[in-house]
Structure 1
Amino acid sequence: MDRRSWLAGLAACGAALPMWAGPAQAGAVEVIARSKPSVVAVGSFRPTDNPRFTFRGTGFAVDDGTLVVTNAHVVPELPADAVGAHVAVLVRREGQSPELRRASVLQLVRGHDLALLRIDGAPLPVLPLAAPAAITEGQSVVLMGFPLGGALGFTPVSHRGMISSITPIAAPVANARQLNEAAISRIRQGSFDIYQLDATAYPGNSGGPVLDADSGQVMGVVNSVFIKGSKETALTDPSGISYALPVRLVAELLRLPR
């Protein structure tokens, strides 16, 4: 008998539940099934391109279901003379082809590599955010996204892992020549913690949710992958080490004026 069945049996008999019981935990199988409708493919739409949708990364629905969180580096930069071009997301529909929707950029916080989009159409099921203070090293997680984009079809793929380390992202540089635009932006934003994961992510996973494997709450956002050699080896010989932005930054993003 598993823990949930045992607790249910105690309740049915009128027994007092132990103080540590807390809310029922869903487990990875249920978390994956429940979360998939909230995960979208983010890219650009140009009527003159073939294909017209160009995939850039992953996003997920939050708040009222019309808001999507992703990485800032996933949001496409469209030329001003691109007639009819716009940011777009592909929404998964069970048993049907993905639905293409127009998206507008509400916030772009490059120092934290986060973006907030608003999508047209009916609200999507949303992913709940975890309490930042409750996240610790060693917790089991599920990554969800589109690791190879259209090569595997636009159905979210899941990977299991855990939070290996919570470590500051801002590192000192040896000299001023090593300061680039991204490094300066991070300094201005201030140092913040980032999650190191022992799970394999690929470029298309960028912007996807890192979910608590038991509750399905969002713990972070996939941001980058550690590459052992050239960029090509990220696919042929992945390091198995990925990084995620903490959910605290997502909460801050949602509090910004829109």
Structure 2
Amino acid sequence: MDKQGTFWGGRTSRRCVLAGLLAWGAVLPGLATAALPETVQQLKPSVLMVGTYAETDTPRFNFRGTGFAVLEGRHVLTNAHVIPEAASLIEGRRLVVQVPEGKGKWSQRTALVVAQDVSRDLALLSVEGAPVKPLRLASADQLREGMDIALMGFPLAGAVGYTAVTHRGVLAAMTDVVLPPPVAQALSPRAIRQLRDGGFQVMQLDVTAYPGNSGGPVFEPDSGLVLGVVSMVLIKGTRESALSSPTGITYAIPADVAAEFVRSSKP
């Protein structure tokens, strides 16, 4: 019994305490990500493979990275570095996305580049065919350091099979995309371009992404809300250019930056 006379040992009060803990979710370890398996199943149909296709190539489909459906479902958001140079799309080779159809089946769709932003490593594609269920992009105030996150993509390309893989971690920090170097001579061309185009903050994640994850969504485990877009190239040319070995840290472009890019690029 407390000073106000409330008997905390009773069955009714214990139920109230348990209900309060369940409502807060984060108080008990694991509750915040209890819905992750269901969220993964909801998101997988919207996460696509981006690559090129040509009858004369071996293999015919050349995987380049991950993307996911946005807007009304006929557009795909991915990284700019995932998109091949225009000069390579010749002699029957075209940009395509592979849309999952369930049970290891894929539907190949021709894609066209709507817009690219190299400084933010983002690209928007238009895709032919039926719409794909689009994912929702978070706003800046929905990103909180320390929050649980998950990311989905196709790590290591075809080396481990073409299936969407999910990794879970934490949003470790929001940090500037370019760190000031000790001397101006240490600035790389990419960093100089980034500073000229305007710096912004990126998501630092304590989860390891692999080649092939580029362009994939970082999302909230319980809601599926997209928090960011994985980028494996943008940061390695700026923040980590002086590192000679992998750090195990992954970076992502925040969803609000991606959303502004999508809004300004939509035809």
Which category describes the TM-score, using the shorter chain as reference length? 0.7 to 0.9
Counterpart of 1:165 (choices 173, 194, 202) is 173
- In 2, are the aligned partners of 1:200 and 1:242 still within 8 Å (CA)? yes
Asked if residue 187 in structure 1 is aligned to residue 192 in structure 2, the reply is: no
Structure 1 residue 174, shift from structure 2 partner: 3.9
**Could you tell me which residue of structure 2 aligns to residue 91 of structure 1?**
99
Q: Which has the larger radius of gyration?
A: 2
Which SS does the other structure have where 1:111 is aligned?
helix
Structure 1 residue 248, shift from structure 2 partner: 1.1
**Could you tell me which residue of structure 1 aligns to residue 75 of structure 2?**
67
Which SS does the other structure have where 1:137 is aligned?
coil
Distance 1:62 1:217 in 2: 12
**Could you tell me which residue of structure 1 aligns to residue 156 of structure 2?**
148
**Could you tell me which residue of structure 2 aligns to residue 16 of structure 1?**
none
**Could you tell me which residue of structure 2 aligns to residue 13 of structure 1?**
none
Give CA deviations for 1:204-248 in whole Å, capped at 9, x if unaligned.
Answer: 100000001111100000112878645xxx5xxxx4311111001
**Could you tell me which residue of structure 2 aligns to residue 133 of structure 1?**
141
Give CA deviations for 1:25-65 in whole Å, capped at 9, x if unaligned.
Answer: 98211110100000001111122101111111100001110
Structure 2 counterpart of 1:173, one-letter code: P
Structure 2 counterpart of 1:183, one-letter code: A
- In 1, are the aligned partners of 2:33 and 2:148 still within 8 Å (CA)? no
Structure 1 residue 68, shift from structure 2 partner: 0.5
**Could you tell me which residue of structure 1 aligns to residue 29 of structure 2?**
none
Give CA deviations for 1:53-102 in whole Å, capped at 9, x if unaligned.
Answer: 11111000011101101010111114267211111111111125212111
Distance 2:34 2:263 in 1: 29
Structure 2 counterpart of 1:242, one-letter code: T
Aligned residues: 234
TM-score by length of structure 1 reads 0.83
**Could you tell me which residue of structure 2 aligns to residue 219 of structure 1?**
227
RMSD between superposed Cα atoms in Å: 2.6
Asked if residue 119 in structure 1 is aligned to residue 127 in structure 2, the reply is: yes
Distance 2:140 2:34 in 1: 19
Unaligned runs of 5+ in 1: 1-9, 11-18
Distance 1:81 1:44 in 2: 8
Structure 2 counterpart of 1:44, one-letter code: T
Distance 2:52 2:186 in 1: 32
Distance 2:94 2:196 in 1: 30
Which SS does the other structure have where 1:69 is aligned?
strand
Counterpart of 2:90 (choices 82, 102, 107) is 82
Asked if residue 53 in structure 1 is aligned to residue 48 in structure 2, the reply is: no
**Could you tell me which residue of structure 1 aligns to residue 19 of structure 2?**
none
Distance 1:76 1:128 in 2: 26
Distance 1:20 1:199 in 2: 25
Distance 2:104 2:115 in 1: 31
Q: Bigger shift: 96-105 or 64-73? A: 96-105
Runs of 4+ in 1 over 6 A off after TM superposition: 225-228
Percentage of identical aligned residues = 45
Unaligned runs of 5+ in 2: 1-15, 17-22, 26-31
Structure 1 residue 193, shift from structure 2 partner: 0.6
**Could you tell me which residue of structure 2 aligns to residue 5 of structure 1?**
none
Change (3 A) 1:25 1:203: closer
Structure 1 counterpart of 2:261, one-letter code: L
Distance 2:103 2:200 in 1: 41
- In 2, are the aligned partners of 1:170 and 1:186 still within 8 Å (CA)? yes
- In 2, are the aligned partners of 1:87 and 1:104 still within 8 Å (CA)? yes
- In 2, are the aligned partners of 1:46 and 1:82 still within 8 Å (CA)? no
